Amino acid sequence: MAKRAKKSRTTARRNRAQQKNLSDLFHETLKDIYFAENKIIKTLPKMAKAAQSRELAAAFNKHLKETHGQVKRLDRVFRMLGKPARGKSCEAINGITDEGAEIMKEFKGAPALDAGLLAAAQAVEHYEIARYGTLRTWAEELGLPEAAELLQATLDEEEATDQTLTRLATSVVNIEAEQREAA
């Protein structure tokens, strides 16, 4: 009798898993990026404060303002789906932001601090670019053109931020870190 009940529960779980579709995955991934964006809102001010370069601090503060707008766009996508705007814990973004916090602690006052902060910020950007690109494509495939447009707008901002950070790294931050080490 116990074997039959266990088999029945296993079969029921498998059937539920098989019933999940792209729409479910889209919603789950939206919750993931919603959590990530809100985590980033809490993290960017700390990074801006820790930055030694005024240009890097300004880039972090600019992206903080953009991130608030990105959360508003996500709120709109959730409303389009008729779902509450709610995040779910994202281990990926937690890991990336933990690495950034570790850099702030281990390199505080060091010449390479800003280079480390910038690298951590780019890790976040690359994660976001991957997520938003996927979400945009899924929105198109699910027949949600308005959601796709909102997600594309955020993807464009994330890519622009990544490019800005790359320019900042190669024109200022990495050079300053090398010069300070040589001094």
Q: Would you tell me how many other CB atoms lie within 10 Å of the CB of residue 135?
A: 26
pLDDT for residue 43: 96
CA–CA–CA angle 154, 155, 161 (5° rounding): 90
Q: Which of 1.10.510.10, 1.20.1260.10, 1.20.1630.10, 3.40.1480.10 is the CATH number of 22-182?
A: 1.20.1260.10
CA 49, distance to chain mean position in Å, is: 20
Q: In this structure, what token pair is assigned to residue 14?
A: 């498998």
Burial per residue of 103-124, b for 16 or more beta-carbon CB atoms within 10 angstroms, e otherwise = bbeebeeebbbbbbbbbbbbbb
* Backbone angles phi and psi of 170, in degrees to 5: -80, -25
Identify whether the C-beta of residue 112 lies closer than 8 Å to the C-beta of residue 181: yes
Q: What is the pLDDT of residues 31-70, one digit of tens each?
A: 999 999 999 999 999 999 999 999 999 999 999 999 999 9
Q: What is the pLDDT of residues 4-33, one digit of tens each?
A: 666 666 666 666 667 899 999 999 999 999
- Helices marked H in the chain — which ranges? 2-19, 22-50, 54-81, 91-106, 113-141, 145-168, 174-182
For 83, residues 6+ apart whose C-beta sits below 8 A from its C-beta are: 27
Identify whether the C-beta of residue 155 lies closer than 8 Å to the C-beta of residue 129: yes
Element (H, E) at 83: none
Q: What is the pLDDT of residues 103-152, one digit of tens each?
A: 999 999 998 999 999 999 999 999 999 999 999 999 999 999 999 999 99
Identify whether the C-beta of residue 134 lies closer than 8 Å to the C-beta of residue 144: no
Q: What is the pLDDT of residues 82-105, one digit of tens each?
A: 999 999 999 999 999 999 999 999
pLDDT for residue 182: 61
- Write down the domain spans for the chain: 22-182
140 residue type, one letter: E
